[in-house]
Amino acid sequence: MLRLNDIKWSVPGENETDTNEILKGVSLEVPDGELTVITGPNGGGKTSLAKLIAGLDTPDSGSIQLDDADITDWDMTKRAKSGICFAFQQPVKFKGLTVRDLIELAAGEKCDWGTICDLLGGVGLCADEYIDRTVDSSLSGGESKRIEIATVLARKDAKVIIFDEPEAGIDLWSFNNLIDVFKKLKDEHGAALLVISHQERILEIADNIVVVADGKVRTSGSTDSVLPELMVNEKSARCPRRKDIRSEA
């Protein structure tokens, strides 16, 4: 179980004495074995929240707990070793590392061909074609995203898995496969799964939805109770080209 208690975080303003409040007292829980989706309008603080959980930034006040441990002051490395996995909105490129190298780093051990084949196959990639490819700019956005997800699947010790807008920059096939991966993670892995997303299809498979707006939790609860209200607001906002929940919820 991941718990956030009254998290506040700000960044410097234009003047040295000014600050911009990004998160204004966020409290929420991410239960083990369930998919929790954080959604809400752009600029509301969702990605900032994910980075604070992963340890990329430190909150100004409040606490972050993983099971019975207070991890608020832990650095990113210690959090990763404790079982917190973070998948970036834009996967990081690693010049000189192959796909095999990256998967084995994530797994923490050498992996045989069959294991890597299963991991890559689970995200729709052929091991013969990708196992020795370098994880660099030669990969497309969809390929990079799938490989990053494969590294997450390789983490047997994962307690919390965070995806920041995983649908960004990927093709339709990759997105459909991503939905299947989330279902598998939720049903089989047992970790606390946290996804930052606007996508309706991801929201539909969630167990819980948290709406973050203007640095605060505007509403939260089961998908059955929160999603209908979001969809009503989306229709009111008249966003005809994509099924995103970007309007004020």
DSSP characters for 171-232? -HHHHHHHHHHHHHIIIII-SEEEEE--BHHHHHT-SEEEEEETTEEEEEEEHHHHHHHHHH
- Residue matched to tokens 């991966």: 181
pLDDT tens-place values along the chain, 249 residues long: 999 999 999 998 877 778 899 999 999 999 999 999 999 998 899 999 999 999 999 999 999 999 989 999 999 999 999 999 998 777 777 778 999 999 999 999 999 999 999 999 888 889 999 999 998 888 887 788 888 888 988 988 899 999 988 887 777 777 787 888 888 888 877 889 999 998 999 999 999 999 999 999 999 999 999 999 888 776 665 444 445 555 444
As a 3-state breakdown, the chain gives helix, strand, coil percent values, each rounded to 5, of 35, 25, 35
Asked whether 95 and 134 are in contact (CB, 8 A), the reply is: yes
Q: pTM of the predicted model, to two decimals?
A: 0.86
Direct distance between the N- and C-terminal alpha carbons of the chain, in angstroms, rounded to an integer? 26
In 67-158, the DSSP E strands lie at 69-70, 84-87
In three-state secondary structure terms, 47 is helix
Write the CB contacts of 46 (distance below 8 Å, at least 6 apart in sequence).
38, 39, 40, 196, 212
Give the residues across from 87 on adjacent strands: 163
The residue type of 239 is C
Asked whether 26 and 6 are in contact (CB, 8 A), the reply is: yes
In the chain, the DSSP E strands lie at 2-12, 19-30, 35-39, 61-66, 69-70, 84-87, 160-164, 192-196, 208-213, 216-222
Please name which of 125, 216, 141 lies closest in space to residue 177, comparing C-alpha atoms: 125
Alpha-carbon distance values, 104 to 94, 110, 131, 147 (Å): 14, 5, 11, 12
Distance from C-alpha of 54 to C-alpha of 58, rounded to nearest angstrom: 9
